[in-house]
Structure 1
Amino acid sequence: MRRWALACWLGCETAAAYAQETLPEPAAEVAESARTTVRSMAVWLARGVDSWFGDRPFEDGGKVSDGRLSTALMLRQHDNPDLDVRFNARFRLPNVEERLYAFIGRDDERDLITDRPGAFSRQDRLLEDTRDRDFFAGLGRSLTDSIDLRVGVRGGLNLFAQARYRHDWLIGDDDRADFRQTVFWSLEDHLGSTTAFSYEHAFSPVWAARWLNSATITQASKHVEWSTLLGAYRSFGDERLLALESLATGEAGSGIGPSDYGVQVRWEQPIHEDWLIGGVVLGHFWPREDEDSPRERAWGVGVNLKLRF
């Protein structure tokens, strides 16, 4: 395992040395056109939603922010290849109150409702995702900088609601802690809660480490779903990042310990300006389905592309 991790690390270091941040002109034109089209569609949709609430022009304070269109191709040994497309955006609507916003997208419904950190998604763990990826939309209200409430629908008329609290602490010049608590309700889970806590330490301007933990409990489940991640990160500037992470997930009381754990190395960098981000990930995992099954071994690889608009 040590030789494998070292080889992956050196391989990504070599890739970083030769990585190009500028696309060939034809590819760049396609990327620019795609970004313009996606953003135009998002603005058109935001303008339409805003018109439901009044006659104030959308240009008078209207805004589309945090727009992301991501595509990922993942393959884990013993699973089928999985192509994942996700879309998220946030709208500021001038015809509603200042602290009210709209959100819309297409994502894994389980991750959306429970508000579990993205680092623990099946996509980030290179797992085939047979669950539904639904379109969703809703309204949120920021009560303070730390608290907001959201109500939405996904997959048709399936309602969900969330109350979210977040607080972070700067502990000296090199340490930071972040706490997030989300209480949610849905037809499937009834009432539930996700608690997430992370701690980050900067060893230098380019080296950092992070410890991230998450726990989710619902009325409909007998077990607490937990996840933990420990990672080391090396920045090469200009949003180029090399990461080595160990992670584990499981259910308390299941009798099998972690249902899946492993180690993975990731490389991310802009491939066109600062809004088209590419990444590759390579991992090795030890999953176990139940108490009667032996723990297996599986390799995983993935490539992803994220377009910000």
Structure 2
Amino acid sequence: MLLGYLASGWAAGADEPGAPQPAGSGILILERSRAMVHDFTEGVARHVDGWFGDKPFEQGGKVSGSIGFKFLTRQHESPDASFRFGAKLDMPNVKEKTYLFFGQENERELLIDQPEPFTRRELLLAEDRRQDQTFFAGVGYALRDNIDFRAGLRSGIKPYAHARYKKAWALGEHDRIDLRETIFWNRKDGVGSTTALSFGHGFTRTLAFRWQLAGTISDETDGLAWANSMGIFKNFGDQHTLSLEALIGGATAGSDNVSETGVRAVWKQPVYRDWTLVELSLGHFWPQGDAKDEDRRGWALGVGFEILF
């Protein structure tokens, strides 16, 4: 079978400032912070759900999401930190397959529905938080298990829309192909599409090979922006995973199709229960073509922290 990896301070009491904190107070703060985010998100869901009817929220209502921080640095560049937040709200008074969502994300990647392995965050690239980050909110509708429609607004009341199709094929006991096709629209790009394709082969129950490709084209682009990765994924159990990948990316519009090559190693594991995850990333990247610059080649390091709620 394919590796499972592929399936994919408020302390109790009123302590005075500066007073010694009891052992484990950091864990208590973490749990209470997570509970506060969950309760706030659920409160929003209950309030909005009440606009559509009187059915109790407990009858099918739920919220889920994550908060992520990542600190990264590339050789010859200044260190950077990024923040991600996303939540999905399922509400009983809204139609069964309709849901709301909101959060904060890289604006460009949100608009084109960029696959996670090829985001700037995972490629250890710095972001301008004022220009690259955006708040967003919207409504989604799952027409079928593999067809999903989303429409939303991002910062500045700018609309965007997605129509996403997902399909998986099992090629025997050890091989699998996954396809995700997104047709998108926004004012900046017009109409476009992002295609993501993944092939996985399981050597054992804990060791697998994965080949991932993604390409984006729109009315405003002169060619196809593409990315490709191949690597080995190892599952050590209890959500402890290690991956080693070779990466290449570029665009067909320039004089040189390839803009960068690189290698990336990622270790991921829970640090407290199964909802607090840490990720360590180490990479080395080589700019190519028009972007080639010996001063830009070098090592990159990332430390990520994610809380699921």
Shared fold per TM-score greater than 0.5: yes
Matched residue, 1:97: 95
Change (3 A) 1:59 1:292: closer
What letter is aligned with 1:68?
S
Cα-to-partner distance string for 1:244-303 (whole Å, 9 max, x where unaligned): 111112111312332122001111001001100011111110124726856841210010
Distance across 1 between alignment mates of 2:242 and 2:292: 38
- Would you say how many aligned residue pairs link Structure 1 and Structure 2? 285
Change (3 A) 1:76 1:35: same
Matched residue, 1:13: none
Contact 1:74 1:303 in 2 (8 A): yes
Contact 1:256 1:291 in 2 (8 A): no
User: Match of 2:179, SS?
Assistant: strand
State the Cα distance separating 1:233 from its structure 2 match: 1.1
State the Cα distance separating 1:205 from its structure 2 match: 1.4
Unaligned runs of 5+ in 1: 1-23
Aligned residue runs from structure 1 range 189-200, under 5 A = 189-200=189-200
Matched residue, 1:210: 210
Q: Quick check: 1:171 aligned with 2:171? A: yes
Distance across 2 between alignment mates of 1:118 and 1:95: 32
Distance across 2 between alignment mates of 1:193 and 1:136: 20
Matched residue, 2:79: 81
Distance across 2 between alignment mates of 1:279 and 1:163: 31
Aligned residue runs from structure 1 range 247-286, under 5 A = 247-286=247-286
Matched residue, 1:55: 54
Matched residue, 1:129: 127
Distance across 2 between alignment mates of 1:156 and 1:60: 35
What letter is aligned with 2:235?
S
Aligned residue runs from structure 1 range 125-164, under 5 A = 125-130=123-128, 131-164=131-164
Change (3 A) 1:81 1:294: closer
Matched residue, 2:187: 187
Distance across 2 between alignment mates of 1:292 and 1:29: 48
User: Match of 2:109, SS?
Assistant: helix
Cα-to-partner distance string for 1:223-246 (whole Å, 9 max, x where unaligned): 211000111111110010111111
State the Cα distance separating 1:122 from its structure 2 match: 0.4
Change (3 A) 1:73 1:42: same
State the Cα distance separating 1:41 from its structure 2 match: 1.3
Distance across 2 between alignment mates of 1:243 and 1:275: 20
Change (3 A) 1:221 1:126: same
TM-score (norm. length: structure 2): 0.88
Matched residue, 1:223: 223
What letter is aligned with 2:125?
L
Q: Quick check: 1:110 aligned with 2:112? A: no
Change (3 A) 1:49 1:287: farther
State the Cα distance separating 1:157 from its structure 2 match: 0.9
Contact 2:286 2:292 in 1 (8 A): no
What letter is aligned with 1:274?
D
User: Match of 2:48, SS?
Assistant: helix
Distance across 2 between alignment mates of 1:265 and 1:293: 23
Matched residue, 1:7: none
Unaligned runs of 5+ in 2: 1-22
User: Match of 1:266, SS?
Assistant: strand
